């Protein structure tokens, strides 16, 4: 490993840890704060989707003009393997066969308003559920893009997966499963989407939060022929930085009670570097990216009503501090050469769904619709 790479990784780790440490010193700011990741623990993921069943999603900062749920007739036909989803807005819950994983994978899909061929993959966090993608419950993606000419593709499940192809099968609650999410998203799902929803295999964007944000960056880096734009919200953009070899496995084990090293091998193995966005920045400089991180200072969505909520917010502060530090390091690496990335650092906000919902609204206007030519006009 070159001295430049070592210095870069060390600096990124110091930045992340220093950011988190400085926020711990400012812990009195927790008074009056509440985690928006309901049920979260100290993990790199979407705690809201793990523990907020029945909770009211945060109101988006943007709502589509008008109230017509079906501006034209393209959305009102069920596709093969699908049923109508309870979240409404013409979202269908579909089961798609994955040969690589030898089982059906659920995907929530909202067809494009006018039947356009653009798709937007929305990736969940570490605590992804097996019954819905949190972008439809803890955020309101189906409402944000209701009037737009782009198909929302929201895979369900994949907790702690980083949407990667794992080296070995995973023992999940006594069930031995193949985790081959990169293969599913890039080689198996696109054919189903083209045949049944008209989504072109080479005209997609990808967005995700936390674990899903890191995965979105890597999918765009490795499959630029499929993904023309990527959005990363509170992602971990330097997964081989000091401390991450410990924090990632601990967070994954906390969620899945599985062997985290079944993913990329032991810390320091080549696959860790192959899945580190910072070390793959060269592949991303020609990809339009919209990247956000909060300040880790509690903001408008943080108003606690219990001791548990305060504890969750404290965890959210630490996680967002780590995200912000790694995002700054990633930006410094990207800016060493010309690139197409936009970085947006919120002045407040911890690791929570209210902020990620707003981030998606901002990414929609700033990049997604323009890059994908998905405006409904």
Active site positions, annotated = 210, 320, 351
Residue 97's φ and ψ, nearest 5 degrees, are -75, 135
CA distance 161 to 231: 19
> Do 352 and 304 touch, CB atoms closer than 8 A?
no
**CB-neighbour burial class of residue 343 (10 A; exposed 0-12, middle 13-18, buried 19+):** middle
CA distance 280 to 6: 14
CA distance 311 to 163: 28
| Residue whose entry in the numeric block shows the structure tokens 């990736």 | 123
Tokens linked to 164: 């990667």
> Do 190 and 165 touch, CB atoms closer than 8 A?
no
> Do 153 and 207 touch, CB atoms closer than 8 A?
no
DSSP 55: P
Paired sense of beta strands 289-293 and 341-345, if any: parallel
């Amino acid at each position: 490993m070159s001295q430049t790479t070592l210095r870069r990784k060390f600096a990124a780790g110091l930045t992340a840890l220093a950011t988190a440490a400085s926020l711990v010193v400012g812990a009195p700011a927790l008074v009056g704060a509440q985690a928006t990741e309901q049920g979260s623990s100290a993990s790199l993921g979407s705690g809201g989707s793990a523990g907020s069943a029945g909770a009211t999603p945060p109101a988006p900062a943007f709502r589509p003009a008008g109230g017509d749920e079906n501006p034209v007739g393209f959305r009102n036909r069920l596709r093969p393997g699908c049923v109508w989803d309870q979240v409404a807005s013409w979202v269908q819950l579909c089961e798609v066969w994955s040969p690589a994983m030898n089982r059906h994978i659920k995907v929530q899909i909202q067809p494009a308003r006018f039947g356009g061929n653009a798709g937007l993959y929305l990736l969940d966090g570490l605590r992804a559920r097996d019954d819905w993608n949190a972008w439809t419950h803890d955020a309101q993606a189906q409402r944000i893009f209701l009037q737009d000419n782009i198909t929302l593709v929201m895979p369900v499940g994949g907790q702690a997966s980083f949407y990667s192809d794992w080296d070995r099968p995973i023992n999940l609650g006594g069930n031995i499963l193949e985790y081959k999410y990169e293969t599913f998203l890039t080689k198996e799902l696109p054919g189903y989407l083209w045949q049944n929803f008209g989504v072109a295999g080479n005209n997609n964007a990808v967005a995700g939060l936390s674990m899903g944000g890191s995965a979105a960056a890597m999918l765009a880096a490795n499959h630029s022929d499929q993904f023309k734009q990527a959005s990363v919200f509170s992602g971990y953009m330097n997964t081989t930085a000091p401390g991450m070899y410990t924090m990632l496995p601990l967070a994954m084990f906390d969620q899945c009670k599985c062997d985290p090293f079944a993913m990329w091998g032991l810390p320091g193995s080549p696959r860790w570097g192959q899945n580190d966005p910072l070390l793959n920045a060269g592949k991303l400089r020609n990809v339009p990216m919209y990247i956000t991180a909060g300040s880790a200072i509690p903001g408008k969505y943080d108003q606690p009503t219990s001791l548990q909520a305060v504890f969750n917010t404290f965890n959210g502060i630490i996680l967002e501090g780590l995200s912000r530090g790694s995002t700054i390091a990633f930006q410094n690496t990207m800016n060493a050469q010309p690139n197409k990335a936009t970085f947006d650092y919120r002045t407040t906000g911890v690791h929570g769904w209210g902020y990620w919902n707003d981030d998606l609204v901002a990414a929609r206007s700033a990049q997604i619709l323009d890059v994908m030519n998905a405006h409904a006009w």
